Amino acid sequence: MLGLSLRDRLLIIVGAPVLGVLFGAVLPPVAGWLADRPWAPMQGPFELIASFDGPWVAVALAAAGLLLGLGFAALALASCLKVTLVDGEIRLDKDGMSRRIARSDVDAVFVDGKQLVILDPASRELLRERHESSPAALARGFQEHGYRWAGQSDPYAELYRRWVPGTPDLPPAANAVLRARETALRKKHGDDVAELREEVQKLGFVVRDREDKQYWRPLVRTS
């Protein structure tokens, strides 16, 4: 399985709860100090914590920090893309959801920055997701299972052009979808951005982002 390294997983699993415990343990004296400082924000919560007395306060807050740390670790691990490779298919797991891509649907795989990209024979993007594995680990994993590894750059990079409203080389429907997607990008509506990417591909084009700018290219069938 490709994803977070063992070191990174241990860092999250162990580090987050430990930090939560430490934060909870030191919160009572810090809250007491801040409650006496008129310039400190959030005086109400600090005064409430400082009003309790006894060693049980630090123990209770440390326990709460432990639970919060464990919850954060679970969410962090679930939000990282995990890729399981077999010769017949690619299994993708993220945020509790799982999908499979058949080997016959895959033409090429490459890394674009921190994103893993999988293309079909029509150069359509079947996947474009952030991935935590190193490019070397990804290359080794995909090549060992017979998938075509295209390296660390988009094989169709020279075809991309920056989109501007009303681009004459695009049909009106594609311009309309890209205009809506530009709005979703600006408002950071991730689900809409992903959904509208698929709509663009249905119209025969691929779109990728560089910061808040969109770049497009036509689909290119390789077989």
135: domain CATH number? 3.30.720
Please state, in angstroms and as integers, the Cα–Cα distance from residue 206 to each residue in 10, 214, 218, following that order: 37, 10, 6
The answer to which of 3-7, 18-22, 157-161, 219-223 has the lowest mean pLDDT is 3-7
141 shares its domain with 102 = yes
136 with 122, same domain? yes
Between helices 6-35 and 55-78, what is the axis angle to 10°?
140
Does residue 69 share a domain with residue 103?
A: no
Which band of pLDDT confidence, cut at 50, 70 and 90, is reported for residue 103? very high
pLDDT-based confidence at residue 14 (cuts at 50, 70, 90): confident
Q: Is the pLDDT of residue 104 over 80?
A: yes
- pLDDT value, residue 92: 92
**HSE of 87, CA atoms in CB hemisphere, 13 A:** 2
Q: How confident is the model at residue 67 (pLDDT cuts 50, 70, 90)?
A: very high
Q: Which amino acid is at 142?
A: F
Q: Do residues 209 and 168 share a domain?
A: yes
Same domain, yes or no, for 92 and 114? yes
Say if 1 falls within a structural domain.
Answer: no
Give the number of other Cβ atoms within 10 Å of residue 156's Cβ: 19
**Full domain range(s) for residue 167:** 156-223
15-32 per-position pLDDT tens digit: 888 898 898 888 888 877
CB burial of 35-58 (b: ≥16 within 10 Å; e: otherwise) equals beeeeeeeeeebeebbeeeeeebb
- As a whole number of angstroms, the distance between CA 10 and CA 38 comes to 41
DSSP E strands in 25-180: the ranges are 82-85, 89-94, 97-102, 108-112, 115-119, 125-130, 161-162
Asked whether residue 176 carries a pLDDT value surpassing 90, the answer given is yes
Q: Which residue has the higher pLDDT, 97 or 156?
A: 156
Mean pLDDT on 74-96: 86
Please check whether residues 98 and 37 belong to one and the same domain: no
| End residue of a domain, out of 152, 170, 198 | 152
Q: Is the dihedral of CA 177, 191, 123, 104 positive or negative?
A: negative
Mean pLDDT value of segment 114-126: 94
Coil, strand or helix at 41:
coil
User: Does 176 share its domain with 223?
Assistant: yes
Q: Are residues 160 and 210 in the same domain?
A: yes
Number of compact structural domains in the chain:
3
Say which amino acid occupies 187. K
Confidence band, pLDDT 50/70/90 cuts, at residue 8: confident
Task: Return the higher-pLDDT residue of 30 and 91.
Answer: 91
- The model's confidence at residue 4, banded by pLDDT at 50, 70 and 90, is low
- Among 123, 152, 181, residue at a domain's last position: 152
**The tokens 């290219």 sit on which residue?**
217
